[in-house]
Amino acid sequence: MLSKKFRFLDYYLVIPYLLLCLIGIVMVYSASADIASQNGGSPTAYLIKQALYVVMGIMVVWFMMAINIKILQSPRFLVIFAAVQLGALLFVKLFGQAVNGAQGWINLGVINIQPAEVCKVFLILYLARMLSQRENQLSTAFFSSAGGPLLLSFVLVGLILIQPDLGGAVINGAIIMIMVLASGISWKKGVIAIFSIIFGFILVVLPLLSRVAQSGAIHSYQLQRIVAFVNPFGTAQGAGSQLVNSYYALSNGGVFGVGLGNSIQKMGYLPEPNTDFIMAVIGEELGLIVVVLIMCLLGIIVARTIWLGVRAQDAYSSLVCYGVATFITIQTLFNVGGVTGLLPITGVTFPFISYGGSSMLVLCVALGCVLNISARQSSGRTLA
C-alpha cells in the first residue's frame, strides 16, 4: 500500500519544495553566521539547526503522505486536536515564552512550538471535515449548519490576536474565509456570510482586543510598525530602521546581487536577517533574479495545489487543497509585503526558507496532506 502510494509522488510539489529548502539552508547560514559569531556561538549554529528542521520536515511530509487520510477526518482525532489546540493557545497566553513582544511560544527544548502556526493546519483539517460533511445543508441553512465550527474557529483566532500576533490571526482568518467561500455555497450567500463574519468579529473580537490594549498587553512596538509603514524614512532612526535597511539591501542587490555571503545589511543593520527579513538578504546577495525564481517555485506549489483542489472528486480533498494554498499564499504575501514596504511588518516568516522549526514543520504537515491527496487522485481512489 505504502510503496504504491509513493509511486504516485507529485514531483510538481516535491521538486520545488526541496529546492526551496535547499536555498533556505544556504541562506540561513549566510544570513546568520555573523550574528551567531557576535553572540559567542559557532557560525554554523543556525545552519545545523535549520538542516535538522529540514530533515525533520521531510520525515513529516513522508509520514503525512503515508497516513490514511481518513484518520484525519475522524471525529475522535478532530476533538483531541481541537482540545489540544485550544489548551495550547490558552497556555501560551498565560505561561508562554515571549518572542519579539508576542507571548506565543512553548519551549520544548529542541524546538520552540508556536500554537498559532499549528492552528493553521488544524483549521484546514477541521473546516474541511465540517464543511464537506454538511455540504448539502450549507446552501440552504448556512449559519445553522456551519455556525458551530465557525464559532470555534474564530475563538481560536481571537486567542491568537490577543497574544498579540496580528499576522498569525489574519492568516488564520483568511484560511477560514476562503474555505467558507469554497465550501459550495453560492457566491451571494458567501459574500453575506463573509460580511456577517466580519461584523461578528467587530462586535466580539475588537472589544476584547480593546480591553487587552487597555491592560497594556498590546505593546507600543505594534503601533510603531504602523508609523514606520506610513513614513519609514521619517522614522529611519527608530521604528522605520527595519524597513529602510530592507530597502537598502534590495537596492544594493539589484538584478544579480553582490554575491553570496557579501551582504552588508545583515551585519547588524537588518533585524532578524535569517527569519523575517531573509528575503531582503537574498535580494542583496543573489539579486532580483533569484527572488523571482523563489517566488516562481512557490507559485508552482500553490498553482499545483489549487489544481489538485479543482480536480478532486470529493469536497474534503478540495477544501484541504484550497486551505493549504491560502495558507502558503497569504504567508508569502505578508512576508514579502513587509520586506518591500507594501504591507506593515508583521513578523511572518517566508515559507520553507526562513529559519525556524515550528513554521517549517507546520508547512510540511500541510504539504504532506496535499501530496497524500495527489497520490490518491493519481491512483484513482477517492475518500468516498
Among 130-139, 190-199, 209-218, 321-330, the range with the most confident prediction by mean pLDDT is 321-330
d(CA 379, CA 384): 14
pLDDT grade, residue 113 (50/70/90)? confident
pLDDT grade, residue 384 (50/70/90)? very low
Mean pLDDT for 48-56 is: 95
Among candidates 52, 66, 64, 58, which has minimal Cα distance to 14?
A: 58
Cell triple for 142? 448556512
Determine the pLDDT at residue 120.
96
Mean pLDDT for 337-366 is: 91
What is the secondary structure of 31-77 as a DSSP string? HHHHHHHHTTS-TTHHHHHHHHHHHHHHHHHHHHHHS-HHHHH-HHH
Domain boundaries, the chain: 2-378
Taking only the tens place, the pLDDT of each residue in 323-345 is 999 999 999 999 999 899 888 88
Taking only the tens place, the pLDDT of each residue in 72-95 is 999 999 999 999 999 999 988 887
Exposed, middle or buried by CB within 10 Å (0-12, 13-18, 19+), for 122?
A: buried
* 8 A C-beta contact, residue 340 and residue 160: no
Taking only the tens place, the pLDDT of each residue in 175-207 is 998 998 888 776 676 677 677 666 766 665 556
Mean pLDDT for 278-291 is: 95
Q: Which residue type is seen at 227?
A: V
Determine the pLDDT at residue 311.
93
pLDDT grade, residue 228 (50/70/90)? low
Determine the pLDDT at residue 43.
86
Share of the chain above pLDDT 70, in %: 78
Cell triple for 326? 491560502
Mean pLDDT for 254-276 is: 87
